[in-house]
Amino acid sequence: MKTLRDPDRKALAKLLGDEDPRTIQLLQESLAGRGEEGIRLLESVARDGDPTAQRNATQILRVLREAAAWEALARFCATCGSHFDIEAATWLVAKTRYPEFDEAAYRTRIDQMAQELRERLTGRETPRATVEVCNHYLFRTLGFQGNRQDYYDPDNSYLNRVLDRRLGIPISLSVLYLLLARRLHLPLIGINMPAHFLLKWHSTSASFYFDPFHQGELLDEADCRELCKRLGVVFNPAFLTPTTPQIILLRMCNNLQAIYADREPARAEHFGRFAAVLSRV
């Protein structure tokens, strides 16, 4: 496809000020086929065009960026294997809903949280005391908590929104905890227990479970059995085996498929396809 000449760019920019939805749809299809050149034109109009053109350009940009985010996550799921960077995967999931958020800024926010935690830890704490310090910082100082009032709000599953609102579900709060632990070199692993994701401290000196959804409550195996009982699940010791990034991402996709099933079937279908691909890895 030939590069747009200046008169063509000006004509397209003018058309973006059209009020006819059919015209805007045709422009969207045309600019989508131009890749980065189309994106640059839209960004220019969104910044400097008249109000109608700015609105239309912004809307098209969001559609194209969201489509690119779906494609990026699809490629990732098809090629990731069993072990990968769960942080990268988590941001890819978030971009399917919030394609324009600043990933670098959110990574920096987690870096800063880890640094603040590092300053609170002396390095002489026992494993349980280390988790208690982390719990106090996350759940008391910063106020993160499980969203019990609206558990199935999709925003509970997107890490950028978990950080913004300080609300999440077991797996999203656990993933945030794991990302901090990785920065602090703490031996935490995910436990993919049915209906309620947990974390485990797993080292040569100590081994115990805890629940980020319930303010980091410390648990032993008997507590996990009781939790399963309360959730109506027949306990199996295999529930407490360490999980992998693949299983974490699969669970995230399954959760979002279920959440969107009635709200936004197209989104649910996307996540269902990703879950199917991950299940075959």
Q: In this predicted model, what pLDDT tens digit does every residue of 208-219 receive, in sequence order?
A: 999 999 999 999
Q: Please give the pLDDT value at position 81.
A: 86
For residue 113, the model assigns a pLDDT of: 98
Q: What is the pTM of this model?
A: 0.90
Residue 56's pLDDT band, with cuts at 50, 70 and 90, is confident
pLDDT at 38: 78
> Is pLDDT of 2 > 70?
no
**Alpha-carbon distances of 112 from 88, 125, 137, rounded to whole Å:** 18, 21, 13
Pairwise CA distance, residues 131 & 128, whole Å = 5
- The arithmetic mean of pLDDT across residues 55-59, rounded, is 87
- Report the mean per-residue pLDDT for the chain: 92
Is the pLDDT at 9 greater than 80? The verdict is: no
Per the structure block, which two tokens stand in for 89? Answer: 């995967």
Taking the C-alpha atoms of residue 120 and residue 126, their distance in angstroms, rounded to an integer, is 14
SS3 of 244, please? coil
Choice between 249 and 16, residue whose per-residue pLDDT is larger: 249
Q: 89 burial class (0-12, 13-18, 19+ CB within 10 angstroms)?
A: buried
Q: What is the pLDDT of residue 72?
A: 95
* Other CB atoms within 10 Å distance of the CB of residue 128: 13
Residue 1: pLDDT above 60?
Answer: no
Percent of the chain with pLDDT over 90: 73
Residues in the chain, total:
281
Q: What is the pLDDT of residue 74?
A: 96
How far is 11 from 33, CA to CA, in rounded Å? 17
Q: How confident is the model at residue 86 (pLDDT cuts 50, 70, 90)?
A: very high
Residue 183 has pLDDT above 60, yes or no: yes
- Specify the range with the lowest mean pLDDT, choosing from 29-33, 257-261, 270-274: 29-33
Residue 143: is it exposed, middle or buried by C-beta count within 10 angstroms (0-12/13-18/19+)? exposed
Rounded average pLDDT over 240-267:
96
Q: Show the tokens assigned to 95.
A: 């971009």
Gap between the Cα atoms of 171 and 164, Å rounded: 17
Mean pLDDT of 11-20: 81
pLDDT given for residue 14 in this prediction: 82
Listed range (4-18, 123-137, 142-156, 204-218) with the worst mean pLDDT: 4-18
Kindly state the percentage of the chain with pLDDT values over 70. Answer: 99
Euclidean distance between the first and the last CA atom of the chain, given in angstroms as a whole number: 37
Strand, helix or coil for residue 174 = helix
Answer whether residue 148 shows pLDDT above 90. yes
The predicted model gives 11-38 an average pLDDT of 81
